[in-house]
Structure 1
């Protein structure tokens, strides 16, 4: 197969796809991957050909400013404006080559519009929870409810008139259901009764991504319990939180690896205790292989990676789907959740120690770990994609 993969410029959307890209290319399929230049090495190492953004799309990503700050409508507005900017580029790429299938990110790829425009199957790549409905009540999608909502309807109408296609509902745009869909977790963890096979393929997390070189030596941990702390790669300006972590675990019998991101400096934390390793970046996958507890922002990708290795989590959600992820962890007894704003050293330490001692949570994490390993090690996702394309061609 000749496949076009469409994505954007965020770790949480691209990293989950890399394992799938590698499996596709290893099976002899050709994959062209459209994304920002910062991920060009990642995708080419997986065997794909990289296709970069135009200056126009780069400019949009840098200059976009929301018309208001409503959490849901701001996301919808961004999705729609991104779709409007990216669709001409995708269609130009398609003119230059004959593709058997397009796989596009559910937020960054315009799947809802593409499947009406192109004559090949459009598969949606869901880097977070796949949803069968919007997370807001229907009354909030009625025109006139909010000025930013009305702006979304204006963009939607403009896109559909440009391509002379039927106007989908905003719910259809948001849920972004393709002709087929890929979700990078288990069906159980996804937790939406309206999302099920065969329309959705549950592929498990990707652990194929390239990590920056790091002289990490975990032999210093010895027999101690290892606590891993990271708030991801975007919202990391939490200096007080990092100081709270040091206060909570200073000179304890635990060894702590703490990644603080690029918005704080290690020097701002004062003296680092001997049982701490603190850096702006740490190789997450390597640490998760050995970690006993993960204190996390509850990003969907990070959580799935931790579950792959059977690591219980203390979730400290901040934005977007992180609150949903944290609730899912708690409801499935895979971890605990706290507010980062109300966290004291005493609470942080007691919650972490409770997780270390909780045998039920550890058993549940190991159970879902086995399920995820079965999914990621299986060739079923690639086989089902190939079969889907063959069936599509026969039907057409």
Structure 2
């Protein structure tokens, strides 16, 4: 496909728009052998999975790709065709970093994630810069997760354009307490170090967990669901930045992360009885998938979710408490629905079902499942409304029961309900119980030809397919790099 100008047609209910991403109107087809795209990412399923099909497509076009991420993601990175490079955990301070950035007597919650991110970045920057400088050919674009400040700082130091990958429906879905976070002493020390050493003030163009690239961001949603920067700090810092909606980034042929903490035994035990599923569908049973993602049942399993869940009434819940509450309610709601076959994804915690009733006979329980292979066969999906899961379901025209836990999931769930493609149980401790969940699920799985939830989901799915997906994301990345090369050539 020939190169075209990158334009932003992003809106919130068609009322918000950005300027064009690049100030040029045409480009010659690039020499792919001269392109080298570098990815820098968090080792988390929701952050990794959308990038892997993009890596695969870049490699198929003859582009060199190097991917910096933790070692546990090496397998999927190399399966997509990229060269893997180690980037240590970007969320947890080492003992050396604690000694350098954390004042004596600071409680753990004051230097844990996300306060830790900037200090980790300051510690990792010298090594990342050294490795980037050593790559051959020289990197032409850095594609990075906006939770991470150091790839964007490195790009600015090296004069390389950057593209951030936003796997939420827009910056405005999660407004951060910028003033509180940035006054944290650990954050202040790391910010000062980066500014003193590299001359870059990271908060001049971003904030904790919000380091979007001024050159452009790929957003894995569609215009109708995009949420722009909120008034205040967000809009002041990056309200003028370009964001391009490309829809879900999915390719069933590309190996994915099922769960970042799944070991070989977990993966081995996660095979689905496809014959049972196909037999149930042949008998006109309705297939329901239930999954609450990978964060509540890993990172937050045995600790309180905290302020990220305060607006959803779950700040004092541990991951285990809310996950088990939802599973118990699902058992109650659907155990006697004989025309339903329910696939329940429980994650990799060994005690996830401790104290719960025995799963009903119409349930298939697995630690992980191949979600994008299973979803097309489903009639409804009960999801935490993480952006990837929500968009994958809608991309297949599957209506969703949203049970959000924290962060952008709450906004995603409400947006879904507003679109008519699902039903939201925000603040689940107050709203979720057996009878209303059963009623909601009956509405979504209704086999009638006029099912409004299915029709709305299918309509959004068509718009997502039209957004361009993987190929559009690749075009944004390559054209951003070519624009820089063209500018240098004309200088």
What band does the TM-score fall into relative to the shorter chain? 0.7 to 0.9
Does 2:134 correspond to 1:101?
Answer: no
CA contact (8 A) 2:288 2:340 kept: yes
Counterpart for residue 445 of structure 2: 356
Of residues 42, 46, 68, the one that matches 2:76 is: 42
Counterpart for residue 165 of structure 1: 200
Give me the TM-score of the superposition, normalised by structure 2. 0.71
Q: C-alpha displacement at 1:75, in angstroms?
A: 5.7
Does 2:121 correspond to 1:83?
Answer: yes
Of residues 20, 42, 50, the one that matches 1:16 is: 50
Q: Which has the higher contact order (CA 8 A, sep 6+)?
A: 2
Counterpart for residue 206 of structure 1: 249
| Structure 1 residues 65-115: Cα deviation after superposition (integer angstroms, max 9, x where no partner) | 995759xx9765233233223322320211211211111111125344234
Alignment of 1:213-362 (within 5 A): 214-217=271-274, 218-222=277-281, 223-236=284-297, 237=320, 238-252=323-337, 253-263=339-349, 264-265=351-352, 269-338=356-425, 339-342=427-430, 343-357=432-446, 359-362=451-454
CA contact (8 A) 2:92 2:113 kept: no
Separation in 1 of the partners of 2:410 and 2:348?
23
CA contact (8 A) 1:229 1:295 kept: yes
| Structure 1 residues 40-62: Cα deviation after superposition (integer angstroms, max 9, x where no partner) | 111111111111235x8696379
Separation in 2 of the partners of 1:280 and 1:225?
21
Counterpart for residue 387 of structure 1: 479
Counterpart for residue 189 of structure 2: 154
Alignment of 1:94-133 (within 5 A): 94-97=132-135, 98-131=138-171
Separation in 1 of the partners of 2:149 and 2:182?
25
Unaligned runs of 5+ in 1: none
Instruction: Give secondary structure in 2 for the equivalent of 1:168.
Output: helix
CA contact (8 A) 2:173 2:411 kept: no
Separation in 1 of the partners of 2:174 and 2:324?
34
**1:246–1:171 distance in 2 versus 1, CA, 3 Å:** same
Separation in 2 of the partners of 1:58 and 1:102?
20
Q: C-alpha displacement at 1:11, in angstroms?
A: 0.8
Unaligned runs of 5+ in 2: 1-34, 230-234, 259-266, 298-319
CA contact (8 A) 1:4 1:99 kept: yes
CA contact (8 A) 1:43 1:49 kept: yes
CA contact (8 A) 1:134 1:174 kept: no
| Structure 1 residues 287-324: Cα deviation after superposition (integer angstroms, max 9, x where no partner) | 21111111111111111111111111111111222112
**1:196–1:20 distance in 2 versus 1, CA, 3 Å:** farther
Separation in 1 of the partners of 2:367 and 2:182?
40
**1:234–1:132 distance in 2 versus 1, CA, 3 Å:** closer
| Structure 1 residues 340-372: Cα deviation after superposition (integer angstroms, max 9, x where no partner) | 323221121112223334833322211111122
CA contact (8 A) 1:7 1:109 kept: no
Alignment of 1:156-195 (within 5 A): 156-166=191-201, 168-169=203-204, 171-172=206-207, 174-178=209-213, 179-192=215-228
Separation in 2 of the partners of 1:378 and 1:58?
28
Separation in 2 of the partners of 1:316 and 1:215?
24
**1:240–1:34 distance in 2 versus 1, CA, 3 Å:** same
CA contact (8 A) 1:227 1:257 kept: yes
**1:155–1:319 distance in 2 versus 1, CA, 3 Å:** same
| Structure 1 residues 171-199: Cα deviation after superposition (integer angstroms, max 9, x where no partner) | 55553221221112223222327799993
Give me the TM-score of the superposition, normalised by structure 1. 0.86
CA contact (8 A) 2:115 2:181 kept: no
CA contact (8 A) 1:310 1:365 kept: yes
Q: C-alpha displacement at 1:219, in angstroms?
A: 0.9
CA-based RMSD of the aligned residues comes to 3.2
The structure carrying a bigger helix percent of its residues is 1
